[in-house]
């Protein structure tokens, strides 16, 4: 069952189910992190069905003797062909190369019984090295890449990026101290990822996807293709709309004094785009946030089509993501954004647009945009 379905069945909140499944971290009275390990209903000694059983290994040996191919064996056992190939590679007799099912079962059981502490728990020096560089704001990938250089003749001290991430997010298994700030993202839990086909636009009127955007919008030669998003304030109770032109990097900030519902965002965007000539208002690219639920009504009024990024793909709006990072210097996370007036937003936009950019040859977005306005007029 999915987490939501299981929580409905048990009668608990969905967030509680997530904590039970993945564990959680709380601060004790001294301010230190205390980790609650995830709850597991797996009984000691119980083996998951995703591993081959002894009976399956016997069938595998019989089918090999009968001359069946790996894919044929996989179909008969209801397994993936790569699973069968991996089993033969790992558990065949290392001397003769023959596959003997009972010896293979013993090898598999012995391998499962090995220490699950992990390299970092077993190696204090390696743990100290990783912890030190995390405190220096290195990413796990950067640490992983430098380990072969630091320990060239000690392959047992080489770690994959995923190993370091798991040690951070699951300290009861990995051994690293997960205190706030050890990762630049400052996340305490892994962000769940969805397959591209798992969720489509969820609006009342189906939206256009970014793959349907005109090819001219993918480049930066033609102005008028905008990227948009919201930056959200404390407790998600306030927001500011951000718009940036892909070609000129010209920024417009959208004042949302009454809230960030779909109706409020629709009306604010219509007001913001009013007065722009059609050649400077060609398309708008947004993520799949619910604030764009009235995108079809916005398009009917302004004739500007809205294209939506794939789920969990903010990198498809790179200019806007970069701009939001710049704006956080003016509007820090965790603050109330409703205290900023429309005049405040205009002042911030002017300051950003008057800042020279390397990508524009050290000219300003305001200069480029004003030239385009003058050309159109």
* Structure tokens, 85: 């190939």
Look at residue 289 in the predicted model and tell me its pLDDT: 86
Q: Which residue has the tokens 């894919």?
A: 71
Q: How far apart are the first and last CA of the chain?
A: 60
Integer Cα distance of 292 and 263 in angstroms:
9
Residues 240 and 307 in one domain: yes
Domain boundary among 165, 191, 217: 191
Give the total number of structural domains in the chain: 4
Which residue spans within 197-316 are E strands per DSSP? 208-209, 225-232, 239-245, 251-254, 283-286, 306-308
Residues 151 and 267 in one domain: no
Q: Which of the four pLDDT bands, split at 50, 70 and 90, describes residue 181?
A: very low
Closest CA to 21 of 33, 34, 10, 32: 10
Output 114 or 216, whichever has higher pLDDT: 216
Closest CA to 189 of 174, 164, 168: 168
Q: Which of the four pLDDT bands, split at 50, 70 and 90, describes residue 206?
A: confident
Closest CA to 129 of 104, 154, 105: 154
Residues 259 and 370 in one domain: yes
Per-residue pLDDT for 59 more than 70?
Answer: yes
Look at residue 202 in the predicted model and tell me its pLDDT: 60
* Structure tokens, 57: 């290994």
25-40 per-position pLDDT tens digit: 777 677 776 677 777 6
Q: Which domain holds residue 241?
A: 208-376
Compute the mean pLDDT over every residue in the chain, rounded to the nearest whole number: 86
Look at residue 39 in the predicted model and tell me its pLDDT: 75
Integer Cα distance of 274 and 234 in angstroms:
30
Q: Which of the four pLDDT bands, split at 50, 70 and 90, describes residue 44?
A: low
Residue 200, C-beta contacts closer than 8 angstroms, at least 6 positions apart: 206
Contact 224, 372 (CB under 8 A): no
Integer Cα distance of 174 and 316 in angstroms:
33
What percentage of the chain reaches a pLDDT higher than 70? Answer: 86
Q: For the whole prediction, is pTM greater than 0.85?
A: no
Integer Cα distance of 108 and 47 in angstroms:
11
Instruction: From residue 52, give the alpha-carbon distance in Å to each of 94, 112, 172, 253.
Output: 19, 12, 28, 58
Residues 355 and 221 in one domain: yes
* Structure tokens, 119: 């390299």
Q: Is 116 helix (H, G, I), strand (E, B) or coil?
A: coil
Residues 369 and 227 in one domain: yes
Domain boundary among 112, 127, 158: 112
Look at residue 87 in the predicted model and tell me its pLDDT: 93
Q: What average pLDDT does this structure show over 248-255?
A: 95
Residue 6 exposure: Cα atoms within 13 Å on the Cβ side: 9
Residues 175 and 64 in one domain: no
Residues 235 and 94 in one domain: no
Residues 134 and 97 in one domain: no
């Amino acid at each position: 069952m999915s987490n939501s379905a299981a929580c409905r069945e048990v009668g608990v909140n969905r967030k509680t189910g997530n904590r039970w499944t993945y564990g959680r971290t709380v601060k004790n009275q001294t301010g230190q992190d205390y980790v609650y390990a995830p709850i597991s209903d797996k009984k000691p000694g119980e083996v998951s069905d995703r591993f081959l059983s002894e009976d399956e290994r016997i069938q595998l040996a019989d089918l090999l003797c009968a001359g069946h191919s790996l894919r044929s064996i996989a179909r008969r056992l209801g397994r993936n062909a790569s699973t069968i190939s991996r089993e033969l590679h790992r558990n065949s007799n290392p001397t003769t190369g023959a596959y003997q099912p009972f010896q293979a079962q013993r090898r598999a059981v012995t391998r499962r019984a090995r220490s699950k502490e992990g390299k970092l728990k077993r190696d204090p020096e390696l743990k100290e090295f990783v912890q030190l560089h995390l405190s220096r704001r290195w990413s796990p990938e950067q640490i992983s890449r430098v380990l072969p250089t630091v320990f060239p003749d000690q392959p047992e001290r080489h770690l994959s990026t995923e190993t370091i991430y798991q040690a951070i997010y699951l300290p009861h298994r990995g051994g690293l101290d997960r205190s706030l700030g050890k990762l630049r993202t400052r996340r305490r839990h892994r962000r769940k990822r969805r397959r591209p086909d798992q969720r489509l636009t969820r609006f009342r009127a189906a939206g256009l996807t970014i793959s349907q955007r005109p090819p001219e919008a993918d480049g930066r030669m033609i102005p008028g293709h905008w990227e948009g998003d919201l930056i959200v304030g404390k407790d998600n109770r306030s927001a500011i709309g951000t718009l940036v032109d892909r070609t000129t990097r010209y920024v417009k900030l959208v004042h949302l004094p009454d809230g960030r519902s779909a109706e409020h965002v629709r009306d604010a965007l219509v007001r913001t785009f009013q007065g722009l000539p059609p050649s400077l208002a060609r398309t708008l690219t947004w993520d799949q946030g619910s604030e764009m639920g009235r995108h079809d009504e916005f398009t009917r009024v302004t004739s500007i089509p809205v294209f939506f990024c794939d789920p969990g793909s903010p990198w498809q709006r790179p200019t806007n993501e970069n701009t939001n990072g710049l704006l956080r210097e003016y509007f820090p996370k965790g603050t109330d954004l409703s205290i900023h007036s429309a005049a405040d937003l205009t002042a911030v936009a002017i300051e950003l647009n008057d800042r020279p950019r390397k990508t524009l040859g050290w000219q300003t977005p305001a200069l480029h945009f004003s030239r385009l306005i003058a050309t159109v007029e």
